[in-house]
Structure 1
């Protein structure tokens, strides 16, 4: 039996909406539609001391008599200014969006983010000189490329009309440079951002400033991407500090399937009014819960803590979710049962699945003694919970101690927490005795316990 649990982040008003995804054929040319144009340009870089290259997409109907906002679109560690063109077909995606009336006309600049004399993706692309060049590109972008674009093309040269996004290494650059230069960029997107991404505390040290100046912050990644923890840690920090953003997770790995979908969705937001309240609806999947068993993708948690339970059980006639109140699951043609819950309050929730009247625990999630019996448990995170998370601070120790009880005429056990520095200290300590509740376990011998 395969069981999966998904926790959703969709507001009540948007509960019936399907999370947005690119439709079939979004990256294929449409016959008869107007097309934009890709041009190659060279610009002088004082930062690197050479002439550098970039590509520029101009939209259908482009005119030098109009002024346009600009999206700077960055590549990954193994690419160059042509990577998006070769693997992502951005001009086709954008042409189709223009044909559907979903974009505000904009320029898209695709530069080489490896700011060094020989900026080709050759040799050891992970070499320290090449990695350092990706960081150097911040200066090249701000002091050389952007001024050149604003001088050469009819742009709207304000932060409100300038966006920065990228994939992988370029996603890390976008978050680093965009959030680090909010006077230059109001729209920032990271697609599958790489480990070059700064820790969130450095990305957004001034939360109030970020809330005030950001028009949109987009973070997306595939659920099977090994770099997912980079995006997840950034989202968790932003969520805790109430910085509005999109955290878009979808089925996929570290590839253009995910990145093209990111561009398709992110570009539709740009240079338009943003409904901040609707941002939590922009996701397909959630984050695996902390209470999952190892390697279990579900349960998953989404921004507003709604939940979807999925169970592969084609031979079962009825499935319910008992989560304090009961929900009926609906079976599809493949035998997968699904239900969406209401928004769940933060903290630990006991639950069980009821298969044809039989309550069972979820094998994909940790179990606890609750509801008067063994049951599954799902931890719903809340804001301001970092105090309860494991952090890089001095740690005490938890010790198991056995003692003989004259009252019960038996050996019993207890756990003792000693604070950091206890072993080296000669001080005497006060003691707190911390007692459990009614769902305790009764010892029946070494290594044996049963609930009472």
Structure 2
């Protein structure tokens, strides 16, 4: 009898566990949203019968919002139309090929689209995403091509006093071609990012997979570190567990810390991966804060990088008051120029709030006689332009 009761109890527990495990499969709204239509228009659907106003905040909208909505920087707002069944809908005009970010704004409150499971985190905010193909965004998709491998090892940092997480892409064939060594691209994120952001919003893995398959980029190792020395790793991947990221927890005053410790990252990569360890086979690039880091790392680590990519860079501390590693900026750039490099590449959007700062930086390079390649695009301080820049820059390497 006891055995029978025990068996029944176990079956009940297992049954309840299975129900709980499956509950999310059947919850939510039975709708499809962010559907890309044959003409590249996109249809959104959201069930909210009690709402009085629902809008889509997206980086595809023409009218710019006064303030960023959620994590969707550079968004506009488009009103949705309520149907008799309480389902709000919107179909956009045909959109250019791109990966887009959006959220819903329901009676003034930003919320994710429950009918689109594809959500990325940017610092402390989230955004839904979708891809419109038939153009440049085909390089942002996972296509039927040979794929590289992304790993997330931890490297010891004496400067930080702890191990730190890093994302590393190795190209297709790396595991099999054990007698082959590869050039390295160090790719740096912006102020709100971490070691995972180039892989999510930036689509860096897909861009390299596709460019390599097309014969437009050389097979390379791509290293994506965390540029905030106060952090072990991205939120949710570190010893602090699950918490809401904040500047107080994650963004301590780190002026010069990452640049000064960059040699630790290079040492780890070159001692653990099959890299070609000379200037001609090293590149460094970054966006915003990462562009700022790129400018100074490429300057203070003499004769280390032949390819420098500066995307929508933050530019400051180029004056007489600069201290530490930022001091003597002009002399450092002059020395870098004398040592020579293969490519100094700069890109910025016309609507970027750092447009003027980038213009001043180019003026400084002109004054110092530094030759560079410059690309100016439509758009602001957003991932849309940074994906374009990586797609362009990667094709010019090595």
TM-score > 0.5 by shorter chain = yes
| Cα deviation 1:146-200 (Å, max 9, x = unaligned) | 1111010011111221111111111111111112223222211111112456459
- For residues 164-183 of structure 1, the aligned pairs below 5 Å read 164-183=284-303
Larger radius of gyration: 1
Q: Residue 68 of structure 1 aligns with which residue?
A: 182
Match of 2:373 among 246, 263, 266: 246
- For residues 33-432 of structure 1, the aligned pairs below 5 Å read 33-62=145-174, 63-116=177-230, 120=234, 123-125=245-247, 130=251, 132-133=253-254, 135-142=256-263, 144-196=264-316, 198=318, 202-205=328-331, 206-207=333-334, 209-271=336-398
Q: Residue 300 of structure 1 aligns with which residue?
A: none
Shift in Å, 1:31: 3.6
Shift in Å, 1:239: 2.4
Higher strand share: 1
Unaligned runs of 5+ in 2: 1-97, 99-133, 236-243, 320-325
Q: Residue 345 of structure 1 aligns with which residue?
A: none
CA contact (8 A) 1:75 1:112 kept: yes
CA distance in 2, matches of 1:193, 1:104: 25
CA distance 1:198–1:71, change in 2 (3 Å) = farther
Unaligned runs of 5+ in 1: 1-20, 272-452
| Cα deviation 1:278-297 (Å, max 9, x = unaligned) | xxxxxxxxxxxxxxxxxxxx
CA distance 1:216–1:204, change in 2 (3 Å) = farther
CA distance in 2, matches of 1:197, 1:82: 28
CA contact (8 A) 2:284 2:305 kept: yes
Shift in Å, 1:108: 0.2
CA distance in 2, matches of 1:164, 1:69: 11
| Cα deviation 1:251-287 (Å, max 9, x = unaligned) | 001011110111111111111xxxxxxxxxxxxxxxx
Instruction: Please report the TM-score for the alignment, with normalisation by the length of structure 2.
Output: 0.58
CA distance in 2, matches of 1:270, 1:203: 26
CA distance in 1, matches of 2:294, 2:335: 20
Instruction: Please report the TM-score for the alignment, with normalisation by the length of structure 1.
Output: 0.51
CA distance 1:129–1:136, change in 2 (3 Å) = farther
RMSD: 2.6
Higher helix share: 2
Question: What secondary structure does 1:184 align onto?
Answer: coil
The alignment status of 1:32 with 2:144, answered yes or no, reads: yes
Question: What secondary structure does 2:229 align onto?
Answer: coil
CA contact (8 A) 1:175 1:203 kept: no
Q: Which has the higher contact order (CA 8 A, sep 6+)?
A: 1
**What count of residue pairs does the alignment treat as equivalent?**
249
